[in-house]
Structure 1
Amino acid sequence: MAKKVLVVEDNELNLKLFCDLLRAHDYIAEPVRDGREAVARAREVMPDLVVMDIQLPHVTGYELIQRMKADSRLRSIPIMAVTAYAGRDDEDRIRAAGATAYVSKPISVMRFMDEIRALA
Protein backbone atom coordinates (compact mmCIF):
# COMPACT_ATOMS: atom_id res chain seq x y z
CA MET A 1 0.00 0.00 0.00
CA ALA A 2 1.34 3.43 -0.95
CA LYS A 3 2.51 5.68 1.86
CA LYS A 4 0.89 9.09 2.31
CA VAL A 5 3.05 12.20 2.58
CA LEU A 6 1.60 15.56 3.61
CA VAL A 7 3.58 18.33 1.89
CA VAL A 8 3.32 21.77 3.53
CA GLU A 9 4.85 24.35 1.18
CA ASP A 10 3.65 27.82 0.17
CA ASN A 11 5.86 28.12 -2.94
CA GLU A 12 3.89 26.66 -5.85
CA LEU A 13 6.97 25.50 -7.79
CA ASN A 14 8.46 23.73 -4.78
CA LEU A 15 5.09 22.21 -3.88
CA LYS A 16 4.71 20.85 -7.41
CA LEU A 17 8.29 19.55 -7.48
CA PHE A 18 7.97 17.75 -4.14
CA CYS A 19 4.57 16.25 -5.01
CA ASP A 20 5.72 15.19 -8.49
CA LEU A 21 8.82 13.51 -7.03
CA LEU A 22 6.77 11.69 -4.43
CA ARG A 23 4.19 10.51 -6.96
CA ALA A 24 6.94 9.37 -9.36
CA HIS A 25 8.22 7.15 -6.53
CA ASP A 26 4.77 5.71 -5.75
CA TYR A 27 3.89 7.84 -2.74
CA ILE A 28 0.54 9.54 -2.26
CA ALA A 29 1.26 13.27 -2.03
CA GLU A 30 -1.20 15.43 -0.08
CA PRO A 31 -0.39 19.11 -0.80
CA VAL A 32 -1.09 21.93 1.67
CA ARG A 33 -0.30 25.49 0.58
CA ASP A 34 -1.25 27.30 3.78
CA GLY A 35 0.40 26.31 7.04
CA ARG A 36 -2.72 27.36 8.94
CA GLU A 37 -4.46 24.31 7.43
CA ALA A 38 -1.65 21.82 8.03
CA VAL A 39 -2.66 20.40 11.42
CA ALA A 40 -6.30 19.91 10.42
CA ARG A 41 -5.27 18.32 7.12
CA ALA A 42 -2.81 16.04 8.90
CA ARG A 43 -5.57 14.89 11.28
CA GLU A 44 -7.82 14.27 8.27
CA VAL A 45 -5.40 12.20 6.13
CA MET A 46 -3.15 10.76 8.88
CA PRO A 47 -0.01 10.75 6.72
CA ASP A 48 2.97 8.45 7.17
CA LEU A 49 5.26 11.49 6.89
CA VAL A 50 5.03 15.28 6.84
CA VAL A 51 7.37 17.27 4.58
CA MET A 52 7.33 20.88 5.71
CA ASP A 53 8.88 24.19 4.76
CA ILE A 54 10.00 26.20 7.78
CA GLN A 55 9.56 29.66 6.31
CA LEU A 56 5.79 29.89 5.82
CA PRO A 57 3.47 32.90 5.89
CA HIS A 58 1.00 33.26 8.80
CA VAL A 59 2.54 30.45 10.89
CA THR A 60 6.14 29.26 11.04
CA GLY A 61 7.25 25.72 10.47
CA TYR A 62 8.58 25.73 14.03
CA GLU A 63 5.09 26.45 15.33
CA LEU A 64 3.57 23.76 13.12
CA ILE A 65 6.08 21.17 14.27
CA GLN A 66 5.30 22.02 17.90
CA ARG A 67 1.54 21.85 17.29
CA MET A 68 1.84 18.46 15.59
CA LYS A 69 4.09 17.07 18.31
CA ALA A 70 1.64 18.32 20.97
CA ASP A 71 -1.28 16.52 19.27
CA SER A 72 -1.72 12.98 20.58
CA ARG A 73 -2.89 11.70 17.17
CA LEU A 74 -0.04 13.30 15.22
CA ARG A 75 2.99 13.22 17.52
CA SER A 76 4.36 9.92 16.21
CA ILE A 77 4.34 11.06 12.56
CA PRO A 78 7.89 11.91 11.43
CA ILE A 79 8.45 15.42 10.10
CA MET A 80 11.04 16.28 7.48
CA ALA A 81 11.89 19.99 7.32
CA VAL A 82 12.85 21.26 3.88
CA THR A 83 14.17 24.79 4.15
CA ALA A 84 16.48 27.47 2.85
CA TYR A 85 17.77 27.89 6.42
CA ALA A 86 21.02 26.05 5.79
CA GLY A 87 23.33 26.80 8.72
CA ARG A 88 24.31 24.22 11.32
CA ASP A 89 22.54 26.24 14.03
CA ASP A 90 19.40 26.24 11.86
CA GLU A 91 19.43 22.47 11.59
CA ASP A 92 19.93 22.12 15.35
CA ARG A 93 17.00 24.50 16.06
CA ILE A 94 14.75 22.67 13.59
CA ARG A 95 15.57 19.29 15.11
CA ALA A 96 15.15 20.69 18.62
CA ALA A 97 11.65 21.84 17.63
CA GLY A 98 10.80 18.23 16.86
CA ALA A 99 11.68 17.60 13.21
CA THR A 100 12.98 14.10 12.53
CA ALA A 101 14.97 15.06 9.43
CA TYR A 102 16.28 18.15 7.67
CA VAL A 103 16.98 18.85 3.98
CA SER A 104 18.25 22.21 2.79
CA LYS A 105 17.05 24.04 -0.32
CA PRO A 106 17.83 23.92 -3.12
CA ILE A 107 17.26 20.21 -2.67
CA SER A 108 19.28 17.36 -4.06
CA VAL A 109 16.65 15.04 -5.53
CA MET A 110 18.62 11.96 -4.45
CA ARG A 111 19.03 13.19 -0.87
CA PHE A 112 15.38 14.27 -0.72
CA MET A 113 14.17 10.82 -1.81
CA ASP A 114 16.70 9.01 0.41
CA GLU A 115 15.32 10.87 3.44
CA ILE A 116 11.73 10.15 2.35
CA ARG A 117 12.47 6.43 2.04
CA ALA A 118 14.20 6.40 5.42
CA LEU A 119 11.17 7.95 7.13
CA ALA A 120 8.09 6.59 5.33
Structure 2
Amino acid sequence: MPKILIIEDSPANMKLAVLLVSSTGHAPLQAEDARKGIELARSERPDLILMDMQLPDMDGMEATAILKADESTRDIPVVALTASAMKGDRERMLAAGCDGYIEKPIDFASFAGEIKAVLAGRR
Protein backbone atom coordinates (compact mmCIF):
# COMPACT_ATOMS: atom_id res chain seq x y z
CA MET A 1 0.00 0.00 0.00
CA PRO A 2 1.54 3.36 -1.02
CA LYS A 3 2.45 5.65 1.90
CA ILE A 4 1.54 9.33 1.90
CA LEU A 5 3.16 11.61 4.44
CA ILE A 6 0.92 14.47 5.59
CA ILE A 7 2.75 17.45 7.10
CA GLU A 8 0.00 19.62 8.61
CA ASP A 9 -0.19 21.59 11.86
CA SER A 10 -3.98 22.04 12.04
CA PRO A 11 -5.60 19.06 13.84
CA ALA A 12 -8.85 19.51 11.85
CA ASN A 13 -7.03 19.64 8.51
CA MET A 14 -4.86 16.66 9.52
CA LYS A 15 -7.95 14.62 10.41
CA LEU A 16 -9.54 15.43 7.04
CA ALA A 17 -6.33 14.69 5.10
CA VAL A 18 -5.88 11.35 6.90
CA LEU A 19 -9.48 10.43 6.06
CA LEU A 20 -9.04 11.39 2.40
CA VAL A 21 -5.67 9.61 2.07
CA SER A 22 -7.13 6.46 3.66
CA SER A 23 -10.21 6.60 1.43
CA THR A 24 -8.01 6.66 -1.69
CA GLY A 25 -6.36 3.39 -0.60
CA HIS A 26 -3.11 4.85 0.74
CA ALA A 27 -1.46 4.55 4.15
CA PRO A 28 -1.21 7.95 5.88
CA LEU A 29 1.86 9.00 7.86
CA GLN A 30 1.52 12.13 10.01
CA ALA A 31 3.78 14.99 11.12
CA GLU A 32 2.57 18.20 12.74
CA ASP A 33 5.57 20.34 11.81
CA ALA A 34 8.20 20.58 9.08
CA ARG A 35 11.14 19.22 11.08
CA LYS A 36 9.25 16.07 12.09
CA GLY A 37 8.00 15.73 8.52
CA ILE A 38 11.51 15.93 7.07
CA GLU A 39 12.73 13.31 9.57
CA LEU A 40 9.79 11.02 8.74
CA ALA A 41 10.36 11.48 4.99
CA ARG A 42 13.98 10.40 5.43
CA SER A 43 13.16 7.38 7.59
CA GLU A 44 9.93 6.14 5.94
CA ARG A 45 10.52 7.10 2.27
CA PRO A 46 6.83 7.76 1.50
CA ASP A 47 5.48 7.63 -2.06
CA LEU A 48 4.16 11.18 -1.77
CA ILE A 49 4.26 14.11 0.67
CA LEU A 50 1.34 16.47 1.27
CA MET A 51 2.94 19.67 2.58
CA ASP A 52 1.05 22.42 4.37
CA MET A 53 2.64 25.68 3.24
CA GLN A 54 2.12 27.53 6.54
CA LEU A 55 3.76 25.56 9.33
CA PRO A 56 4.87 26.87 12.74
CA ASP A 57 8.58 26.01 12.57
CA MET A 58 9.35 26.78 8.90
CA ASP A 59 7.20 27.36 5.86
CA GLY A 60 6.38 24.56 3.47
CA MET A 61 8.45 26.01 0.64
CA GLU A 62 11.58 25.97 2.81
CA ALA A 63 10.82 22.40 3.94
CA THR A 64 10.25 21.37 0.31
CA ALA A 65 13.59 22.91 -0.69
CA ILE A 66 15.34 20.89 2.06
CA LEU A 67 13.67 17.67 0.87
CA LYS A 68 14.52 18.36 -2.79
CA ALA A 69 18.16 19.12 -1.92
CA ASP A 70 18.56 15.83 -0.04
CA GLU A 71 19.61 12.88 -2.21
CA SER A 72 17.53 10.47 -0.11
CA THR A 73 14.27 12.42 -0.50
CA ARG A 74 14.61 14.48 -3.71
CA ASP A 75 12.60 12.02 -5.82
CA ILE A 76 9.59 11.97 -3.48
CA PRO A 77 6.83 14.13 -5.01
CA VAL A 78 5.63 16.98 -2.80
CA VAL A 79 2.12 18.39 -3.18
CA ALA A 80 1.44 21.79 -1.62
CA LEU A 81 -1.62 22.00 0.62
CA THR A 82 -2.55 25.63 0.98
CA ALA A 83 -5.28 28.09 1.80
CA SER A 84 -3.24 30.68 -0.11
CA ALA A 85 -4.97 30.97 -3.46
CA MET A 86 -3.73 34.35 -4.63
CA LYS A 87 -2.69 34.93 -8.23
CA GLY A 88 0.80 33.53 -8.73
CA ASP A 89 0.81 31.33 -5.59
CA ARG A 90 0.53 28.07 -7.54
CA GLU A 91 3.44 29.09 -9.77
CA ARG A 92 5.57 30.13 -6.75
CA MET A 93 4.97 26.78 -5.03
CA LEU A 94 5.74 24.79 -8.17
CA ALA A 95 8.89 26.90 -8.70
CA ALA A 96 9.89 26.12 -5.09
CA GLY A 97 9.95 22.41 -5.95
CA CYS A 98 6.38 21.27 -5.32
CA ASP A 99 5.11 18.70 -7.80
CA GLY A 100 1.43 19.56 -7.33
CA TYR A 101 -0.94 21.94 -5.60
CA ILE A 102 -4.18 21.41 -3.64
CA GLU A 103 -6.19 24.33 -2.32
CA LYS A 104 -7.92 24.34 1.07
CA PRO A 105 -10.67 23.78 1.82
CA ILE A 106 -9.94 20.41 0.26
CA ASP A 107 -12.38 19.13 -2.36
CA PHE A 108 -12.40 15.32 -2.40
CA ALA A 109 -12.68 14.92 -6.19
CA SER A 110 -9.83 17.30 -6.98
CA PHE A 111 -7.78 15.87 -4.07
CA ALA A 112 -8.05 12.30 -5.36
CA GLY A 113 -7.34 13.41 -8.93
CA GLU A 114 -4.23 15.40 -7.97
CA ILE A 115 -2.84 12.54 -5.85
CA LYS A 116 -3.43 10.05 -8.67
CA ALA A 117 -1.85 12.36 -11.27
CA VAL A 118 1.25 13.09 -9.19
CA LEU A 119 1.77 9.42 -8.30
CA ALA A 120 1.27 8.39 -11.95
CA GLY A 121 3.85 10.96 -13.04
CA ARG A 122 6.35 9.49 -10.61
CA ARG A 123 6.14 6.01 -12.12
Scaled to the shorter chain, the TM-score interval is over 0.9
Q: Which aligned pairs between 1:1-120 and structure 2 lie closer than 5 A?
A: 2-120=1-119
User: What is the alpha-carbon distance in structure 2 between the residues aligned to residue 119 and residue 101 of structure 1?
Assistant: 7
User: What is the alpha-carbon distance in structure 1 between the residues aligned to residue 93 and residue 24 of structure 2?
Assistant: 26
Tell me the CA shift for residue 76 of structure 1: 0.6
Q: Describe the SS at the equivalent of 1:111.
A: helix
Tell me the CA shift for residue 88 of structure 1: 2.7
Report the RMSD for the aligned CA atoms in angstroms: 0.8
Is the Cα contact below 8 Å between 2:30 and 2:37 reproduced in 1?
Answer: no
Q: Deviations over 1:14-33 (max 9, x none)?
A: 10111111112210000111
Q: Deviations over 1:85-108 (max 9, x none)?
A: 102311111011000001111111
Tell me the CA shift for residue 5 of structure 1: 0.2
Paired residue type of 1:45: E
Number of residue pairs the alignment of both structures matches: 119
User: What is the alpha-carbon distance in structure 1 between the residues aligned to residue 33 and residue 117 of structure 2?
Assistant: 26
Q: Describe the SS at the equivalent of 2:101.
A: strand
Q: Structure 1 unaligned segments of length 5 or more: list them.
A: none
Paired residue type of 2:22: R
Q: List structure 1 runs of 4+ shifted beyond 3 angstroms.
A: none
User: What is the alpha-carbon distance in structure 1 between the residues aligned to residue 85 and residue 118 of structure 2?
Assistant: 21
TM-score scaled to structure 1, two decimals?
0.95
Q: Describe the SS at the equivalent of 1:73.
A: coil
Q: Describe the SS at the equivalent of 2:88.
A: helix
Q: Describe the SS at the equivalent of 2:74.
A: coil
Q: Structure 2 unaligned segments of length 5 or more: list them.
A: none
Percent of aligned pairs with the same amino acid: 38
User: What is the alpha-carbon distance in structure 2 between the residues aligned to residue 111 and residue 38 of structure 1?
Assistant: 24
